[in-house]
């Protein structure tokens, strides 16, 4: 069951690579939150109940409801154009994400470790580097944040791979999540949208030598 869920998670990455509208990105982020919720439910079912409830609440509330709603609000409020406007064509994005996935699979397969949950590591590393790739290849500040959220979901999957022995890691991952939410809130409470016209990275090039 976990395998099915994680592979669905991997497929969402490909979907984002060719998605055109910002709303699709938000929906995918919400879907990833729901997937992570289910994975936590299955993977960590035997840990301390209170802690489990905390982690479940965090995935369902932060990842799948609060952050997507807030991003949708920002897009509406700041009148951001609804297209993602990447620097590279979708087709090439798709190829690059595929290459990232294959590279992760090869990397993880080269490890000689018989108690390794390979699928967790493949999915996590793919999400991590795909998120990084989205940050580099998209033009808008808001897509940067979305790319970062994808990275962060990947890190969460990684911490789940060890979560049953080290619950502390998952809790630290949650700290990261809350930190990101604060970051998103802080940056986007109107100010950056008002100051940077069209919220494009092209306006972020005044500081240089």
Q: Which stretch binds another protein (CB under 8 A): 41-49, 60-68, 84-92, 188-196?
A: 188-196
Residue 168 as a binder of another protein (CB under 8 A): the answer is yes
What torsion, rounded to 10 degrees, do the Cα atoms 161, 167, 171, 176 define? -30
Q: Which x/- pattern, by CB under 8 A, does the window 45-84 give for another protein?
A: ----------------------------------------
**86 vs 152, beta carbon nearer another protein:** 152
**50 vs 207, beta carbon nearer another protein:** 207
Residues 87-116 that bind another protein (CB under 8 A): 111-113, 115
Positive or negative torsion for Cα 78, 81, 96, 108? positive
How far is residue 166's CA from residue 38's CA, in Å, rounded to a whole number? 19
How far is residue 201's CA from residue 209's CA, in Å, rounded to a whole number? 18
Contact 188, 74 (CB under 8 A): yes
Contact 9, 32 (CB under 8 A): yes
**4 vs 168, beta carbon nearer another protein:** 168
User: Exposed, middle or buried, 17 (CB in 10 Å: 0-12/13-18/19+)?
Assistant: buried
**54 vs 95, beta carbon nearer another protein:** 54
Q: Which x/- pattern, by CB under 8 A, does the window 124-153 give for another protein?
A: ----x---x--x-----x--x---x--xx-
Residue 197 as a binder of another protein (CB under 8 A): the answer is no
Residues contacting 13, CB < 8 A, separation 6+: 97, 101, 126, 127, 130, 150
Contact 75, 82 (CB under 8 A): yes
Tokens, residue 5: 């869920």
Query: Which of 71, 11, 68, 9 lies closest to 37, judged by CA?
Result: 9
Shortest spacing between CB 89 and another protein, in angstroms: 25
**18 vs 192, beta carbon nearer another protein:** 192
Strand partners, 140: 200
**22 vs 157, beta carbon nearer another protein:** 157
Residue 185 as a binder of another protein (CB under 8 A): the answer is no
Per CB under 8 A, residues contacting another protein are 111-113, 115, 128, 132, 135, 141, 144, 148, 151-152, 155, 158-159, 161-162, 165-166, 168-169, 172-173, 175-176, 179-180, 182-183, 186-187, 191-192, 195-196, 204, 206-207, 209
């Amino acid at each position: 069951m976990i395998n099915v869920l994680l592979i669905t998670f991997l497929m969402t990455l490909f979907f984002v690579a060719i998605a055109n509208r910002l709303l699709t990105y938000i929906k995918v982020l919400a879907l990833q939150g729901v997937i992570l919720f289910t994975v936590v439910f299955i993977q960590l079912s035997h840990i301390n109940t209170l802690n489990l409830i905390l982690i479940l609440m965090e995935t369902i509330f932060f990842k799948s409801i609060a952050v997507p709603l807030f991003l949708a609000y920002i897009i509406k409020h700041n009148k951001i154009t609804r297209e993602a406007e990447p620097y590279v064509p979708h087709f090439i994005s798709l190829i690059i994400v595929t290459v990232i996935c294959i590279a992760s699979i090869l990397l993880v397969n080269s490890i000689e470790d018989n108690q390794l949950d390979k699928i967790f590591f493949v999915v996590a590393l793919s999400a991590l580097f795909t998120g990084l790739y989205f940050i580099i290849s998209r033009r808008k500040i808001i897509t940067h944040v979305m790319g970062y959220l994808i990275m962060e979901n990947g890190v969460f999957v990684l911490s789940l791979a060890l979560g049953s022995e080290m619950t502390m890691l998952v809790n630290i991952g949650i700290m990261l999540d809350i930190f990101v939410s604060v970051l998103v809130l802080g940056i986007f409470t109107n100010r950056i949208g008002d100051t940077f016209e069209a919220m494009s990275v092209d306006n972020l090039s005044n500081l240089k030598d």
